[in-house]
Amino acid sequence: MKTKIFEITHIDDKAEEELIQAAEILQKGGLVAFPTETVYGLGADALDPAAVQKIYLAKGRPSDNPIIVHISDIEMLNMLTPVKPEDVEVLTEKFWPGPLTVILPKKPQVPDVATGGLATVAVRMPDDPIAMRFIGLSGRPVAAPSANISGRPSPTKGEHVIRDLSGKVDVIIKGGDCKVGIESTVLDLTGPVPVILRPGVITAEQLSEALNKKVVVDPGILAQSKGKNETGCGKELIPKSPGMKYAHYAPKAEMIILRGRAEDVKYEAERMRSEREKAGGKTGIIIFEEKASEKAAHDFYAKLRELDDIGVELIIAGALSDEDPVGLAVMNRMIKAAGFKVIDV
């Protein structure tokens, strides 16, 4: 397959023509990768089961891992769900467009292949003008997981997508760098208490304040942030979201996380690098400054890919505090990237 690459950093007449082409390709069952504020997405018509199936094949994605559906206006939400609880109206007014995904009951017309066979659908409205224009021109809800090979670090730059998916998809819209850098917060609104199934930069505190009620984080996510996998956290603490049970975000290099006081982590990381390099191994270090969790969110995936590009064999990362809600979100990704390998120092 020959992939068309459209370089679009702002919407002018040329960009509009290219976005129309991309939208027409999606309407005909094609795959289009596009930028969002979180990470790049790989899109298909969410109501076309054959098109959505192509996403799983292009990415090598497990078939029971649901896909978030992206919309450009509230009317599209009506195509996906039969109900709009009061909570949805409050949240969409405050956080959309933005990095918040809500889980709602699905209409029968939403194919099971898009929802991993679940009776619910995950929906969000991205805060990116290129994404919004592309989705609007398509006139269809767009099912779009991250635009990478499944299991690899999520793409936050257009070149990441080209490297992973060129020749496997119909179109790549190469925009700028993603401004958030990690995937959206996923909030389940189908139960009596709203539950965060995947942490992101929109926090439980912000959501609780907006709804004027308690929003909780899935205990399985909190267990994972401590470095406990499914075997180590007990059946009752296995994350509820099907996608959270899979390996994600992993670099090619081996990766370990050091957890402890900042000075101890830095000392041990340098000691390990020196020891490894004396033996001829190439090592990279990722340590973010304390209280810099938003920068960590923005930079983490790109740093993993940069270190892979220079051929390091081991990546040593410093843990972030999961007391910081955005730090929890980054740790959720970091723990999975390291395969739950955490050393206390």
Supply the CATH number for residue 291's domain.
3.40.50.11030
Say which CATH number the domain at 43 has: 3.90.870.10
For 59-113, the pLDDT digits (tens) are 999 888 899 999 999 999 999 999 888 899 999 999 999 999 999 999 999 999 9
Q: What is the rounded distance in angstroms from the CA atom of residue 162 to the CA atom of residue 33?
A: 9
Q: What is the rounded distance in angstroms from the CA atom of residue 131 to the CA atom of residue 345?
A: 43
Residue 78's contacts (CB-CB under 8 Å, 6 or more residues apart) are: 84
Residues 14 and 152 in one domain: yes
pLDDT band at 236 (very low <50, low <70, confident <90, very high): very low
Question: End of a domain among 132, 158, 174?
Answer: 174
Residue 296 lies in a domain: yes
The pLDDT score that the predictor gives to residue 245 is: 53
This prediction's pTM: 0.94
Residue 266 lies in a domain: yes
Q: What is the rounded distance in angstroms from the CA atom of residue 169 to the CA atom of residue 46?
A: 16
Residues 338/317, Cβ–Cβ less than 8 Å? yes
The pLDDT score that the predictor gives to residue 231 is: 47
Residues 38 and 138 in one domain: yes
Query: Are β-strands 100-105 and 120-124 bridged in parallel, bridged antiparallel, or unpaired?
Result: antiparallel
Residues 67 and 155 in one domain: yes
Question: End of a domain among 117, 150, 174?
Answer: 174
Percentage of the chain beyond pLDDT 90 is: 86
For 116-167, the pLDDT digits (tens) are 999 999 999 999 999 999 999 999 999 999 999 999 999 999 999 999 999 9
The pLDDT score that the predictor gives to residue 235 is: 41
227 pLDDT exceeds 70?
no
Residue 43 lies in a domain: yes
Over its C-alpha atoms, the chain yields an Rg (Å, rounded) of: 20
The pLDDT score that the predictor gives to residue 233 is: 46
Residue 158 lies in a domain: yes
For 258-308, the pLDDT digits (tens) are 999 999 999 999 999 999 999 889 999 999 998 899 999 999 999 999 999
Our measurement of the distance from residue 183's CA atom to the centroid of its chain's CA atoms, rounded to an integer in Å, reads: 3
Please give the tally of structural domains in the chain: 2
Residues 283 and 159 in one domain: no
Residues 18 and 141 in one domain: yes
Query: Are β-strands 254-259 and 142-143 bridged in parallel, bridged antiparallel, or unpaired?
Result: unpaired
Q: What is the rounded distance in angstroms from the CA atom of residue 198 to the CA atom of residue 214?
A: 16
Helices (H), the chain: 13-27, 49-59, 74-78, 86-95, 112-115, 129-138, 158-165, 204-211, 219-225, 230-233, 262-278, 293-309, 325-337
Give the side-chain half-sphere CA count within 13 A for 268: 20
| Residue 109 lies in domain | 4-174
User: In 3D, which of 337, 317, 339 has the Cα closest to residue 257?
Assistant: 317
The pLDDT score that the predictor gives to residue 291 is: 83
179 pLDDT exceeds 70?
yes
The pLDDT score that the predictor gives to residue 234 is: 43
Residues 69/85, Cβ–Cβ less than 8 Å? no
Residues 116/106, Cβ–Cβ less than 8 Å? no
pLDDT (mean) for 30-54: 98
Residue 93 lies in a domain: yes
Our measurement of the distance from residue 289's CA atom to the centroid of its chain's CA atoms, rounded to an integer in Å, reads: 23
Question: End of a domain among 121, 153, 174?
Answer: 174
pLDDT band at 249 (very low <50, low <70, confident <90, very high): confident
